């Protein structure tokens, strides 16, 4: 689910930033005056190192708002405070310097961690300001933990898009999928994400990575197919994507059914689906738990799901507490759409 792939050179730049920010002075700090040769020599060396830091920061500055968001999330994924600091606006840097330096330029801890994100909403306030609402996908060693919503404002300054404001990440999704007692919050979080993942798959993923030939007609059929996007275009990747919210048996049965009905086909180890679109008026993100019953490691939830603006539908969804110690949906993905 990562929005961008960082090149080797970008990784080297980020590593250089992490080393360079240990310098005692920032670009906007007052270094003061020097008098004796030894002090002058040290100041010259520091000035050279500061120039190197400034060039590194310049190299990673994003030139679009979308790239700024990508890099913001990448800094969280790699826990690289130096990278995030490099793409802050000049106004935000002085406010953040002491905090970042106090954390040794490391963001967060080893767990939970951010694995990916989706843009929920973006609003262009003017030609130089865009506000984003993001959902961060957070994980632990047990697997998917849930989503955390954050707000990020990016501004265009001197040809670059920089982070001006952002919600500090708390690594709190409101879900407790590891708890042996299934909660309403975990139920609602899982079904909301399950619907998003169903339609992500149904629409082919995040777009065509193969612009030369995104569509094709397999031999022996008149049906036009399209490739799934590269993050879910193998059986292993798609299985892992669905397993974040669904139980193993539910995923395996669902994929077998899709393959048997030709709603998915395998061509040269890549997955493709019929080139067709559909939709739904159901909003599982606003569902309400009417009743929750648990019997050991099995549970069922009766949910009231909005349908359009004024109607609702009622569904019963099954859950299972898996051997690795997390709750997952045991009902087929076909229901939660």
pTM of the predicted model as reported, rounded to 2 decimal places? 0.81
Q: Which helix (H) or strand (E) holds 150?
A: strand 143-157
Say which range, 41-45, 89-93, 170-174, 308-312, has the weakest mean pLDDT. Answer: 41-45
CA quadruple 322, 324, 327, 330: dihedral sign:
negative
Percent of the chain with pLDDT over 70: 85
Q: What is the pLDDT of residue 201?
A: 96
Say which range, 36-45, 99-108, 202-211, 304-313, has the weakest mean pLDDT. Answer: 36-45
Alpha helices of the chain — where are they, by DSSP H? 8-20, 37-60, 65-77, 81-86, 93-102, 184-202, 235-243, 248-260
Coil, strand or helix at 303: strand
Task: Give the Å distances, CA to CA, from 38 to 32, 41, 45.
Answer: 15, 5, 11
- Counts for the chain of helices (H) and strands (E), in that order: 8, 12
Q: What is the pairing mode between strands 160-166 and 225-227?
A: unpaired
Residues 6+ apart with CB under 8 A from 90: 28, 157
The pLDDT tens digits for 108-155 are 888 999 999 999 999 999 999 999 999 999 999 999 999 999 999 999
Q: Which domains, ranges and CATH numbers included, belong to the chain?
A: 8-166 (3.10.450.100), 178-337 (3.10.450.420)
Residues 6+ apart with CB under 8 A from 226: 204, 208, 214, 215, 216, 272, 273, 274, 275
- Supply 239's token pair: 């299985």
């Amino acid at each position: 689910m990562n929005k961008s792939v960082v090149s080797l050179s970008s990784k080297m730049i980020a590593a250089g930033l992490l080393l360079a920010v240990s310098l005692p002075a920032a670009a906007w700090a007052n270094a003061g005056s020097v008098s004796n040769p030894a002090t002058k020599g040290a100041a010259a060396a520091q000035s050279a190192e500061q120039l190197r830091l400034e060039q590194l920061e310049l190299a990673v500055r994003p030139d679009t708002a979308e790239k700024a968001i990508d890099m913001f999330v990448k800094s969280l994924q790699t826990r690289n405070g130096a990278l995030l600091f490099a793409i802050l606006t000049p106004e935000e840097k002085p406010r953040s310097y002491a905090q970042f330096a106090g954390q040794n330029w490391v963001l967060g801890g080893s767990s939970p961690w951010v694995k990916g994100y989706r843009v929920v909403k973006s609003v262009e306030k003017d030609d130089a300001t865009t506000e984003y609402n993001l959902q961060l996908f957070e994980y632990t060693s047990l697997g998917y933990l849930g989503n955390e919503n954050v707000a990020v404002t990016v501004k265009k300054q001197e040809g670059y898009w920089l982070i001006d404001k952002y919600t500090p990440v708390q690594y709190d999704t409101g879900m407790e999928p590891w708890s042996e007692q299934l909660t309403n919050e975990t139920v609602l979080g899982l079904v909301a994400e399950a619907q998003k993942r169903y339609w992500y798959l149904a629409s082919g993923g995040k777009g065509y990575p193969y612009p030369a030939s995104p569509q094709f007609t397999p031999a022996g059929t008149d049906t036009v197919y399209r490739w799934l996007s590269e993050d879910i275009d193998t059986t292993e990747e798609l299985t892992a994507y669905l397993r974040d919210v669904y139980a193993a048996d539910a995923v395996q049965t669902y994929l077998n059914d899709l393959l048997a009905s030709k709603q998915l086909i395998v061509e040269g180890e890549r997955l493709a689906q019929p080139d067709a679109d559909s939709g739904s008026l159901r909003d599982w993100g606003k569902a309400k738990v009417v009743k929750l019953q648990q019997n050991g490691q099995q549970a069922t939830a009766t949910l009231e799901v909005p349908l359009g603006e004024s109607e609702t539908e009622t569904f019963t969804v099954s859950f299972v507490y898996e051997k690795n110690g997390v709750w997952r949906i045991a009902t087929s993905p076909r229901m939660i759409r």
